[in-house]
């Protein structure tokens, strides 16, 4: 009964319970018999420990692949791209200005545009007083 159970157990708690049962046996002959008949489970292929180790190795290797390099290399890379990034920002700002001019020229506004204009109007004190008085 106990000796057969130990070979097929996957759960460490069950293994420990069986071992405790063997160790707590008060009759020496029964203890010896249980001990001789019991076999500790072999480490099966694909057991949890191997899977955990394999998963940990995968995570570690993925982490190594996702690093960018030494701090000095990262700083150098950023500095090399700085001019390009500033140029893209400048182009975006110019595009935004031209779109705003186009919208104003043809009265083509989106709701966020109207909302922004309303907030700008409220910032003017004379318009604020006029809204309060009406």
Structure confidence by residue, pLDDT tens digits, 34-86 = 777 766 555 556 666 666 666 766 776 665 666 676 788 888 999 999 999 99
Q: What is the pLDDT of residue 19?
A: 76
Q: Which of 37, 65, 93 is the last residue of a domain?
A: 65
Q: Do residues 60 and 8 both lie within one domain?
A: yes
Q: Do residues 77 and 116 both lie within one domain?
A: yes
pLDDT bucket at 11, cuts 50 / 70 / 90: low
**Tokens, residue 70:** 């030494």
Nearest to 34 by CA among 68, 2, 11, 57: 2
Q: Do residues 79 and 127 both lie within one domain?
A: yes
Q: Do residues 48 and 78 both lie within one domain?
A: no
Look at the alpha carbons of 48, 49, 51, 56 in this order and tell me if their dihedral is positive or negative: positive
How far apart are alpha carbons 99 and 93 in whole angstroms?
A: 10
126 compared with 16, residue with greater pLDDT: 126
Q: Do residues 47 and 77 both lie within one domain?
A: no
pLDDT bucket at 113, cuts 50 / 70 / 90: very high
Domain range for residue 82? Answer: 71-133
């Amino acid at each position: 009964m106990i000796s057969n159970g130990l070979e097929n157990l996957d759960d460490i708690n069950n293994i420990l319970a069986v071992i405790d049962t063997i160790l707590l046996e008060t009759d020496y002959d029964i203890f010896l018999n249980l001990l001789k008949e019991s076999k500790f489970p072999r480490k099966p292929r694909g057991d949890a420990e191997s899977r955990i180790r394999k998963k940990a190795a995968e995570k570690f290797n993925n982490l190594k692949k996702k690093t960018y390099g030494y701090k000095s290399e990262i700083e150098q890379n950023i500095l090399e791209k700085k001019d390009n990034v500033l140029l893209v920002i400048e182009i975006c700002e110019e595009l935004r200005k031209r779109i705003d001019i186009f919208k104003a020229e043809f009265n083509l506004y989106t709701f966020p545009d109207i909302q922004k204009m309303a907030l700008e109007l409220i910032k003017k004190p004379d318009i604020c007083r006029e809204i309060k008085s009406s």
